[in-house]
Chain A
Amino acid sequence: NGAAFSKVRGSQSGQESTRWHVVRKFLGLISSHNIPVYLIDPLILGLVDKDIEQIRSSPDGPSPECKYFCTPRDFTTFALLDKTWKHEMGLFRTAEKMGFQWLKIINKDPRLDGMDDLSGMEIPLHYIFKLASHAIHLVVFYERSGNFLWHGPLRLKQHMDRKFVPFRKLHFGRYPGAYEKPELLLVSIDDLKVQIPKNPSSFLEEMSHSRFLECRYREARAFFQLYPDDASLDAVEFRKKAKSLLHLAALTLNNLGVKFWLSSGTCLGWYRQCNVIPHSKDVDLGIFIRDYKADIIPAFQNAGLPLKHKFGKVEDSLELSFQGEDDVKLDIFFFYEEDDHVWNGGTQAKSGKKFKYLFPKFTLCWTEFVELKVHVPCETLQYVEANYGPEWKVPVKTWDWKSSPFNVQDNGDWPIDEWDNVIQIY
């Protein structure tokens, strides 16, 4: 019935039907090679989302009009899971026979980048199939440690055709991105059978803050050249415990839907050495106070992490500390946003003194750390420098949380009558 449908197309302008025809040809191409792709085009998914109930309820119904694939655009974006196809060159030969021009963007495999001196084959990150005036942008997703999907940035090499498509308008590729593995749904839209994320709106939400930062492996190697890694049994043991504590904390907070990021020493460890700093003795996380939930404390307790202390209150300088296995502590700092900076508070239990740690404003990016997908401040350098000063590259073994941080300020004292509330030690 595609032919019948294209008659409807005939009444529309040439360019509109071009897009629909190119998408249809592309879907034919990939299904003839048994390659499962799914639609991730944000503009189309946005339209689809509005009609999602109707689309779900009539997976086979013919469309009365062409609503989605006929809006004139330069390109339509699809995703491909790397492990679901075998990189057969036959696909490209068929594509050429069908009249497609295609472009492949390859680069180093980041999953090997963290490793000393390994050089694998470069991996395809993006494909672009162009036919007439329309292009299909196919983004390749890879599974990474931490149970998430990753796509690479799109970077053109010197001698590539910069005018092949309007690259700057592409929705994917400006930065690498991290995504959960999506649940897919086979639907029929505009009489084309296509897979889409089951919940387009949450996919679009995820997409809006999907930017991924790779750890700075090269710099981390240079760091270890200067300061050889601590391979003692104690260090190995601490790293193991810190890793499992971080996994448990991430699981707990993710279940609650509370967004968090690596902060203080844990963030420094990721940024400087792509690992847990063995002499840091605790795991530090940051949470915006607006994301605070009262369930946090019971959730950690249920996860087997008793509350060790609670300083401050939701309105001011809140800080929670949970007791992990064998003296490894989980510190959660709540961050308060001001017009031009953010800060978190500290409290000295015995004196009731308050401290304030100032940071420049930042956004959150995903990264991979100890086999976990976690947030870090995208502007990591500013964040780390604010906290540790320009000498952050030099390891310091003696650290005093009241005086060592570069960004600490005195912040007065808690009134004595509030002590029972704002200084709780268990």
Chain B
Amino acid sequence: MDEWKPNPAVKPHKKRSWYLAWKYKLMNQRALRKLCQTGAVLFLLVTVIVNIKLILDTRRAAYEEEEESAQDYDDEMLNVEAPRHPVNNKKVLDVEVYSSRSKVYVAVDGTTVLEDEAREQGRGIHVIVLNQATGHVMAKRVFDTYSPHEDEAMVLFLNMVARGRILIFTIKDEGSFHLKETAKNVLKSLGSQVAPFLSWRDMWTFVGKKGGEVYGEKHAKSPALSTWGDPVLLKTEVHLTSVEDAECHWPDTELNRRRKRFCSKVEGYGSVCSCKDPTPIEFNPDPLKDNKVFDVPVAVIAGNRPNYLYRMLRSLLSAQGVNPQMITVFIDGYYEEPMDVVELFGLSGIQHTPISIKNARVSQHYKASLTATFNLFPDAKFAVVLEEDLDISVDFFSFLSQSIHLLEEDESLYCISAWNDQGYEHTAEDPSLLYRVETMPGLGWVLRKSLYKDELEPKWPTPEKLWDWDMWMRMPEQRKGRECIIPDISRSYHFGIVGLNMNGYFHEAYFKKHKFNTVPNVQLKNVESLRKDNYETEIHRLLGEAEVLDHSKNPCEDSFVPDTEGKVYVMFIRMEQEADFTTWTQLAKCLHIWDLDVRGNHKGLWRLFRKKNHFLVVGVPASPYSSKKPSSVTPIYMEPPAKEEGAVAVPAVAAAEQT
């Protein structure tokens, strides 16, 4: 969030230049005697000043030694909660808004609160929300309304902004191409006269109060398809209201005090700041009986996506058996708004000075967060690791409580994860079922302290290695043949679409149709069968019971699996050796499940559901379960796509990973 001060303190260095100018003037006039006198006085003065400065510096140094942060202690006592930008007598804000092809800016009382002249970035409608009493910037968004669906996001956002707030709009480059009727009407209802007629490459600025007056609007039409409208600069004044008028009058409770602090600072969180009927910020979900994970610390890894964090924490705090005191949010960077969200929910947050870049930065942030978690909770044997773009299932802690003893007792386990990479709407069915898999899904998982402290932390990739932490953790040197336990139906849902490794297309294709458990208190089935040796017995039992499918049919066709329910079927695919995933990858592609790399396998076996039947895939002859194949059955082989197609597939992955 941008900081600005309506009355910036006058810098003290002016005195020095004044003194120099005076000295210069005296010398020019050659008033030698006077100069000598003044010189002596000045000399004395300077000596005094230098000495005072020296004393002050020494004292400050001495204080800094012991009391580094003397400024900010004890806000409850000293009442430093007052608005950070007090406007005192100020009643009017000067607002400047600029719109052009290559640059936009917004200045409030001479302080720039938005400036974007980056090339090929920031196209569309920029929106700024100001607090009507303080002039404080509460939200800053850009909606690329040249592209589809962005106007819907803008409407959603504008609807969430509280009445009375000051809204500032400005277009950079192009903002009309996918600005649909609904969005135009919303802008019109805010008082814009131009919005309904905005067209290709028009420049536009608008300042108004939500549900109130219009402070100004300027517009420049694009003369032709190939050119842009002339830059427009809108200068206007905004009248501030009193703080009381800008605030809601919620009953004075500890919770509402947190709410008030939050709602006076940021915008765009909808009903949490509604005056009439604010949504709760404390959830009190049912406690879990015999909760084995009540004392397990929960580390939430976050960046600067405060709206995601808000959604994530709401779902986390609503999960049964949650213990808010064990939650720490680790924010990668000194971002204020995520911290505001953390404080809104009364949780503790830790900020992390970013080191390194991109993936390595995320990786270093993970390391610092995990180390800090085990420092803060030295008794903990485990830590739950979550990310800011996950929804947490209502039975997340119940799921962990029922399974965590396995991680403690079975050394062949690497983690418990809430996420099934292959658990899509059409391939996951049974909320009580667990699997063992050789891949580490992440996205909500439990880490054993001994694994971290003894193995991972000492050799965690250093910042100059641009590795993804999760890729690194999946490498055989780290995993050492250990497996993770996952549910058939995921207990987390990956909703993030804007992130380091994410874009809209990628999310749509691989995450949107993921199944997510919404049933509370699911009793997990046969948890003991997940232990190393028991699992083999279980798999052999399953394969013994399984009906072999007709291998002459096309496995991609729906008819490959009979129209039954609750049966167990098995198919055999060709898998020459342990790392031969040629046919599996093709099968995964046509089944519309995760195919970017191999996930969810256990000794050459994959388990999923098709048409509500348990569907087993065995790789022959690499899998030890190949012996279950009747001699009459020939394993199915699926051709990888021709070279050209393959070449297309690679950039798709790369693109997804870059954004």
- Name A residues whose Cβ lies closer than 8 Å to a Cβ of B: 83, 86, 88-90, 92, 102-109, 111-112, 114-122, 143-147, 155-160, 231, 233, 236, 239-240, 371
Nearest chain A CB to B533 CB, angstrom units: 28
Measured CA separation A118–B367 after assembly (Å)? 11
CB < 8 Å neighbour of A121 from B77, B254, B348, B459: B348
Extra contacts, 14 of them, besides A115-B372, A158-B67, A239-B458 (Cβ < 8 A), are: A89-B76, A92-B76, A112-B372, A112-B375, A116-B353, A118-B353, A118-B368, A119-B352, A120-B372, A143-B377, A146-B378, A157-B67, A157-B70, A157-B73
Chain B hits for A90, CB < 8 A: 254
Chain A hits for B462, CB < 8 A: 231
Which residues of B471-488 are within 8 A (CB) of A? Answer: none
The 5 closest A-B pairs by CB, nearest first: A117-B353, A120-B350, A145-B378, A111-B375, A236-B458
Nearest chain B CB to A118 CB, angstrom units: 5
A sample of 19 cross-chain residue pairs with beta-carbon separation below 8 angstroms, ordered by A number, consists of A104-B77, A106-B73, A109-B376, A115-B368, A116-B368, A118-B350, A118-B352, A121-B349, A122-B69, A122-B72, A143-B377, A143-B378, A144-B378, A147-B378, A156-B67, A157-B70, A236-B458, A240-B454, A371-B378
Nearest chain B CB to A276 CB, angstrom units: 10
Measured CA separation A88–B253 after assembly (Å)? 12
Nearest chain B CB to A77 CB, angstrom units: 21
Nearest chain A CB to B376 CB, angstrom units: 5
- Whether a CB of chain A sits under 8 angstroms from the CB of B286 is no
Closest to A143 in B: B378
Chain A hits for B368, CB < 8 A: 115-118
Measured CA separation A114–B378 after assembly (Å)? 14
Which residues of B312-359 are within 8 A (CB) of A? Answer: 325, 348-353, 355
Measured CA separation A104–B350 after assembly (Å)? 21
Nearest chain B CB to A238 CB, angstrom units: 10
- Whether a CB of chain A sits under 8 angstroms from the CB of B379 is yes
- Whether a CB of chain A sits under 8 angstroms from the CB of B91 is no
- Whether a CB of chain A sits under 8 angstroms from the CB of B74 is yes
Closest to A119 in B: B351
Q: Find out whether the CB atom of B355 lies under 8 angstroms from the CB atom of A158.
A: no
Nearest chain A CB to B527 CB, angstrom units: 29
CB < 8 Å neighbour of A117 from B348, B355, B454, B459: B355
- Whether a CB of chain A sits under 8 angstroms from the CB of B277 is no
Chain A hits for B63, CB < 8 A: 158
Q: Find out whether the CB atom of A118 lies under 8 angstroms from the CB atom of B67.
A: no
Chain B hits for A86, CB < 8 A: 325
Measured CA separation A158–B66 after assembly (Å)? 10
Measured CA separation A236–B374 after assembly (Å)? 19
Q: Find out whether the CB atom of B376 lies under 8 angstroms from the CB atom of A231.
A: no
Q: Find out whether the CB atom of B67 lies under 8 angstroms from the CB atom of A240.
A: no
Q: What total of A-B pairs shows CB separation below 8 Å?
A: 92
- Whether a CB of chain A sits under 8 angstroms from the CB of B371 is yes
Chain A hits for B351, CB < 8 A: 118-120
Nearest chain A CB to B367 CB, angstrom units: 9
Measured CA separation A103–B77 after assembly (Å)? 8
Chain B hits for A145, CB < 8 A: 374-375, 378
Chain B hits for A155, CB < 8 A: 66-67
Chain B hits for A117, CB < 8 A: 352-353, 355, 368
Nearest chain A CB to B476 CB, angstrom units: 15
Measured CA separation A145–B375 after assembly (Å)? 6
Closest to A85 in B: B325
Closest to A181 in B: B379
Chain B hits for A156, CB < 8 A: 67
Given contacts A90-B254, A103-B77, A145-B378, contact A240 B458 (CB under 8 A): yes
Which residues of B448-483 are within 8 A (CB) of A? Answer: 453-454, 458-459, 462
Measured CA separation A128–B374 after assembly (Å)? 30
Chain A hits for B325, CB < 8 A: 83, 86
Measured CA separation A116–B460 after assembly (Å)? 14
Q: Find out whether the CB atom of B355 lies under 8 angstroms from the CB atom of A116.
A: yes
B63, B349, B353, B372, most chain A CB atoms within 10 A: B372
Measured CA separation A119–B371 after assembly (Å)? 13
Chain A hits for B377, CB < 8 A: 143
Closest to B454 in A: A240
Q: Find out whether the CB atom of A106 lies under 8 angstroms from the CB atom of B349.
A: no
Nearest chain A CB to B138 CB, angstrom units: 23
Closest to A160 in B: B73
Measured CA separation A364–B459 after assembly (Å)? 33
Q: Find out whether the CB atom of B353 lies under 8 angstroms from the CB atom of A88.
A: no
CB < 8 Å neighbour of A371 from B69, B355, B453: B453
Q: Find out whether the CB atom of B378 lies under 8 angstroms from the CB atom of A112.
A: no
CB < 8 Å neighbour of B254 from A89, A102, A115: A89
CB < 8 Å neighbour of A120 from B348, B458, B459: B348
Closest to B257 in A: A89
Measured CA separation A104–B353 after assembly (Å)? 28
B68, B349, B376, most chain A CB atoms within 10 A: B376
Measured CA separation A371–B371 after assembly (Å)? 12
Nearest chain B CB to A170 CB, angstrom units: 17
Measured CA separation A320–B454 after assembly (Å)? 28
Chain A hits for B459, CB < 8 A: 231, 233, 236
Nearest chain B CB to A175 CB, angstrom units: 13
Q: Find out whether the CB atom of A119 lies under 8 angstroms from the CB atom of B353.
A: yes
Q: Find out whether the CB atom of A159 lies under 8 angstroms from the CB atom of B70.
A: yes
